Amino acid sequence: MFDVDGVSFSVDGTVLLHPTRLNLGEGKVYGLIGHNGSGKSTLLKLLAQQQPPTGGHIQLDGRSLADWGSREFARNVAYLPQRLPSAENLTGRELVAFGRFPWRGLLGRLTAEDHRRIDNALALTHTEPFADRLVDTLSGGERQRVWLAMLLAQGSRFLLLDEPLAALDMAHQVEVLELIRKLCAEIGVGVIIVLHDINLAARYCDQLVALRRGSVLARGVPQELMNAKTLEAIYELPMQVMAHPRNGYPVALLE
């Protein structure tokens, strides 16, 4: 479990995240929602050891993040940033193989188990056709899926995903979210994901954490947050909520 205790973050006197308290466990999908600049990516970077907090403490399994070595941490937590790094001269399979780095032995060679996990990650994300293609020649959505495959190959208990749907069309957005739900249900992976589409977040997340101007404004199951008053407070726009005519899921609409 992640235990976020009074964590804050500032840069040059500008507060990006006010003191925040959260508990985030395995086996659930947590959706971070809110407008641009609300602190979603900042919180995810703090959880991912990408930057230390300027106040408060974050623990994983009762240990401060500062006490985790990088390889040990990577065996437990995988992070996909909003802006993907370059994968120059790497094929899709070579990139996915990097996900096995935290598990490699002293010689750094891939084992049969490593290859099995790489194959499985490519299959789960339907990226086998890109295995022998250079990553930098793929479309934005194709690259996004190959990077997600790398995270799956990593075999971590937590996936921290910063806007992983941004470059995907609607069909692949649903495919990725269905895969995330499957991972949670079948192997108990915990997922903390930044989403902009409130309706997709409400449908696929177990809990929503809403941020506004660097503070957690609300947290709860989607049915609790999906009401006009709460959504208007989060997005500062007039909203309406109705039940989907076929499945009953709450759907948010602009007035």
Locate the domains of the chain by residue range.
2-221
State the pLDDT at residue 106. Answer: 59
84 pLDDT exceeds 90? no
State the pLDDT at residue 107. Answer: 63
**What is the rounded average pLDDT of the residues 181-191?**
90
**Residue range 2-221 in CATH 1.10.150.170:** no
Least confident of 102-116, 145-159, 182-196, 200-214: 102-116
Question: What count of other Cβ atoms lies within 10 Å of the Cβ of residue 242?
Answer: 11
Q: Give 39-82 pLDDT, tens digit per residue.
A: 999 999 999 999 999 999 999 999 999 999 999 999 999 999 98
CB contact set of 231 (below 8 Å; sequence gap of 6+): 198, 225, 237, 239, 241, 252
Are the CB atoms for 191 and 178 separated by under 8 Å? no
Query: Strand order in 207-212's β-sheet?
Result: 77-80, 158-162, 190-194, 29-33, 207-212, 215-220
| Start-to-end CA span in the chain (Å) | 39
Distance CA 108, CA 52 (A): 29
Q: Tokens 């002293």 sit at which residue? A: 106
Q: What is the DSSP letter of 134?
A: B
pTM tops 0.85, yes or no: yes
State the pLDDT at residue 52. Answer: 94
Question: CB-based burial of residue 231 (10 Å sphere; 0-12 exposed, 13-18 middle, 19+ buried)?
Answer: buried
